[in-house]
Amino acid sequence: MAELVVAIESLCYGGAGFGRAEGKACFVPFTAPGDLARIRVVKEKSSFLEGELVELLEPSPLRIAPDCPVFTECGGCQWQFLPYPEQLTQKGTIFTDTLARIGKVPRDKVMPVAASPDDYGYRSRVQVKVTVRAGRVQLGFFRTGSHDVVDFGAGCPLAQPPLNRMAAEFRALLPTLPQLEWIHQVDLSVGDSGEGIAIVHSRGGGDALVERLARARAELPSVAGAFVSVGRKGELEKAFGIEALSYHVPADIAPDSRELELRFGKGGFSQVNYRQNLELIRTACAWAGLTGKERVLDLYCGNGNLSLPLALNAAQVLGIEGYAPSIADAVANAEANGIENANFQVSDAAQAVRRLVKRKERFDLVVLDPPRGGAEAAAELAGLAPQKIIYVSCDPATLARDLASLCGNGYQVTRSKPVDMFPQTYHLESVTELVRI
């Protein structure tokens, strides 16, 4: 393919650098604003080019040395070559532009990005890929755009230290496990107490693997609970130890609040950055402005991460979640924390909204935290007549789409706060408030 010289002007959602070449927009991964780069064109369309970096002719003055020795090979990070303040600047610009362009959100409604207290060592969960190459076990993550495992050596610098200790223990243990060639992934999670759970994913040999892991407990001192999953949707078989992790929500998260301890079971969802998760909860509680009289609906509620802190200042909370084990966690969390005004249901969120609208149910506040694809029934939330909607999102583009839909159905965006849950990457969480016009 052709080689071109491109001056990189900015960064884009997805992580690539943006410039112009031959009158077209040009996107090049692992380039920084201010780079003059020689690139090789790998894809050409009528309006844009995609390229790969061949040579930095003039490196950007912004560039710093990445912390990870396999950065650019591993597909996990995109921006380790940028100082953290510059990453925040770029994320803020991308987020604001996306909401303005797709959602027609006025730029002055977007607040500065809430920085992560830790820009490394923040992740509480990782999915470690496993393969065997030349007779040696490789642990790491997939190379960008492939299923080739890049070994991360001593560990991932984004992961909390207990996760890297767990990975090192599995590196030593894996060669002794039965049917090693069938093991393709180990999920590692840690609670804010430092306890860890591991889930070994294998294409077969479940019983033998469970038995061997049970006997290997002493070889995994950092692992408090171990499980095996066989097949694509295999049930988790316990080898040993604990079945859930937990994290604390401090009493000062909102006025008239109290400390909560929230659990999530093995394989369940939790935010990967505990300290920034508290920023999400704190913002949602502050913007909710509850007085104790309100009825609240929490869609995609998970283990009650937002529902239960909100319930402390609401009259009633209804949480909806499609993943039954998370609802079991939410119910257990309500009981363990003495919260009696929160109820939870297993249901598809869109179907639940339609049922509630059909029954002419009304809520003062709707909170939603959908997956990356956004909220299927966003426009239909207006049928519940909430005075306020608080939308937590992990994808600016689908958020902007849903905000446009809500604003076309009687709501307006009053403020939006991007929250950097994922330093060194282009990913971004956010909280957006809408009020009924």
For 310, the 3-state DSSP assignment is helix
Question: Alpha-carbon distance 334 to 345, whole Å?
Answer: 13
Report the chain's C-alpha Rg in angstroms: 23
Q: If you ran DSSP here, which 8-state letter would residue 114 be given?
A: B
Residues 6+ apart with CB under 8 A from 252: none
Tokens of 4: 């071109």
Q: Note whether 59 and 78 are within 8 A (CB).
A: no
Phi, psi angle pair for 209, to nearest 5°: -70, -40
Surface-to-core class of residue 12, CB atoms within 10 Å of its CB (0-12 exposed, 13-18 middle, 19+ buried): middle
Tokens of 171: 């590196």
Q: If you ran DSSP here, which 8-state letter would residue 41 be given?
A: E
Helix ranges restricted to H, 216-338: 274-288, 307-311, 324-336
Q: Any catalytic annotation for residue 26?
A: no
- Residue among 68, 74, 156, 394 flagged as catalytic: 394
Question: Alpha-carbon distance 276 to 333, whole Å?
Answer: 20
E strands, 123-274, are 125-133, 136-142, 149-151, 183-190, 196-202, 225-230, 236-241, 244-249, 260-265
For 185, the 3-state DSSP assignment is strand
Active site amino acids: 394
